[in-house]
């Protein structure tokens, strides 16, 4: 029988039980489906589509014939991309959007583990201390090395003016759009990226996600804002004339805390027009401060997100709840 190994330890809890516990521990809507099998457990991929694909396409190997590493995973859709395949530890990383260290310690502290190769279990581990922390102090001079425009931005319906205002850049070496995120003091927090060739976003998973454009809202003391998932939608909302912020996918508790501490009094939700977007709205409602009013904006049924809306469609939808 193969073993699930994490460094010098063997986890004796069956992988199917670990997956079920993992699903309960997640707050980002990932790992929706888990289908047990003799050689492979089929799950929804935590990597592509932001972890919210409709049909399970990812196999976790639990066979005993040694065809693959026990617990390793591979997605039929994105298996050749970074994050689309790897060890079970990597799978946990993708689910939590966390560091390798946190993934290992979560497994070792949550489930039965035995020492192997003469190693000894160390002292109790404080998982809270391993949670991703916000890093402040990236050198803003790096933005000067990127280009100020790429035609792809125009294809997404964005003007040069709005992109220049929010310092959106293009990295020609990696062929990626760069979305600088700042705090209200002007410190550069993070530089999420999006490929111009593939539908792939890149975030530093060792840090808390910032709320995109929240610095702009705070500086101007805006009380009412629209909230979206993606930065393109966010820029479009600002271009349409309404202060707009974005969460880069599932809204996290740390992002909600940042919003709670801000000047915002009313939020108009314009998450993606799908089940995941509805879950994000419900999560926001449960966690947001009682002083902040949440108004749900219904997008036209044929539109996927704010980025698909015309100026007239945007204001027609928003005016119904204002």
pLDDT digits (tens, 9 = 90+) for 246-277: 999 989 988 999 999 999 999 999 999 999 89
Question: Quick check: is 282 in a domain?
Answer: yes
The answer to whether residues 315 and 182 belong to one domain is yes
Question: Quick check: is 309 in a domain?
Answer: yes
Question: Quick check: is 135 in a domain?
Answer: no
The answer to whether residues 163 and 187 belong to one domain is yes
The answer to whether residues 188 and 245 belong to one domain is yes
Question: Quick check: is 161 in a domain?
Answer: yes
CA dist list (Å): 319 to 268, 313, 314: 11, 10, 9
Domain count, the chain: 2
Q: Which residue has the higher pLDDT, 285 or 130?
A: 285
Q: Which residue has the higher pLDDT, 184 or 278?
A: 278
User: Residue 124 phi/psi, 5° resolution?
Assistant: -55, 140
Pick the last residue of a domain from 130, 160, 181.
Answer: 130
The answer to whether residues 114 and 179 belong to one domain is no
- Cα distance between residue 192 and residue 205, in whole Å: 10
User: Residue 157 phi/psi, 5° resolution?
Assistant: 85, 20
Edge to edge, the sheet with strand 4-6 lists 4-6, 9-11, 113-115
Q: Which of 244, 254, 240 is nearest to 220 (CA)?
A: 244
Quote the domain boundaries for residue 116.
4-130
DSSP string computed for 4-55: EEETTEEE-S-HHHHHHHHHHH-SSS----EE--SSEEEE--SSGGGG--SS
What confidence category does residue 135 fall into, taking pLDDT thresholds of 50, 70 and 90?
A: very low
- Cα distance between residue 202 and residue 215, in whole Å: 21
Mean per-residue pLDDT over the chain, rounded: 88
The answer to whether residues 198 and 248 belong to one domain is yes
The answer to whether residues 161 and 124 belong to one domain is no
The answer to whether residues 184 and 106 belong to one domain is no
The answer to whether residues 279 and 144 belong to one domain is yes
pLDDT digits (tens, 9 = 90+) for 54-101: 888 899 999 988 889 999 999 999 998 888 999 999 999 999 888 888
Domain of residue 189, CATH code: 3.40.1360.10
- The predicted pLDDT at position 19 comes to 95
Could you give the 3-state DSSP secondary structure of residue 56? coil
Domain of residue 75, CATH code: 3.90.580
Q: Where are the beta strands (DSSP E) in the chain?
A: 4-6, 9-11, 34-35, 40-43, 58-61, 73-75, 85-86, 113-115, 169-171, 176-178, 181-182, 188-190, 193-195, 201-202, 224-228, 244-246, 266-269, 293-296
The answer to whether residues 126 and 185 belong to one domain is no
Q: Which residue has the higher pLDDT, 187 or 317?
A: 317
The answer to whether residues 158 and 212 belong to one domain is yes
Please count the helices (runs of H) and the strands (runs of E) in the chain: 11, 18
Write b or e for each residue in 60-83: b if 16 or more Cβ atoms lie within 10 A of its Cβ, otherwise e: bbbeeeeebebbbbbbeebbeeeb
- The predicted pLDDT at position 219 comes to 93
Pick the last residue of a domain from 130, 161, 177.
Answer: 130
């Amino acid at each position: 029988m193969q073993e699930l190994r994490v460094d010098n330890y063997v986890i004796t809890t069956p992988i199917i039980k670990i997956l079920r516990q993992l699903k309960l521990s997640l707050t980002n809507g990932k790992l929706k489906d888990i289908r047990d099998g003799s050689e492979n457990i089929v799950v929804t991929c935590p990597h592509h589509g932001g972890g919210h694909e409709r049909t399970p396409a990812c196999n976790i190997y639990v066979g005993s014939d040694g065809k693959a590493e026990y617990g390793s995973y591979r997605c039929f859709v994105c298996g050749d991309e970074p994050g689309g395949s790897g060890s079970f530890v990597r799978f946990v990383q993708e689910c939590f959007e966390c560091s390798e260290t946190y993934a290992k310690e979560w497994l070792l502290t949550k489930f039965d583990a035995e020492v192997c190769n003469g190693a000894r279990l160390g002292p109790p581990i404080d998982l809270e201390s391993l949670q991703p922390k916000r890093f402040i102090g990236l050198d803003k001079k790096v933005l000067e090395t990127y280009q100020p425009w790429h035609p792809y931005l125009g294809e997404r319906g964005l003007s040069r003016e709005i992109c220049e205002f929010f310092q959106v850049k293009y990295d020609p070496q990696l062929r990626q759009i760069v979305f600088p995120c700042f705090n209200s003091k002007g410190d550069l927090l993070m530089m999420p990226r999006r490929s111009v060739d593939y539908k792939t976003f890149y975030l530093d998973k060792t840090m808390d996600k910032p709320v995109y454009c929240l610095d702009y809202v705070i500086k101007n003391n805006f009380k009412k804002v629209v909230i979206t998932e993606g930065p393109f939608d966010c820029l479009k909302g600002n271009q349409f004339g309404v202060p707009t912020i974005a969460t880069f996918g599932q809204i996290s508790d740390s992002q909600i805390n940042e919003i709670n501490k801000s000047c915002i009094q009313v939020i108009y939700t314009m998450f993606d027009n799908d089940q995941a977007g509805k879950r994000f709205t419900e999560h926001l409602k449960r966690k947001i401060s009682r002083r902040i009013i949440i108004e749900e904006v219904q997008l036209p049924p044929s539109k996927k997100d704010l980025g698909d809306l015309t100026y007239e469609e945007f204001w027609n939808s928003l005016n119904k709840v204002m």
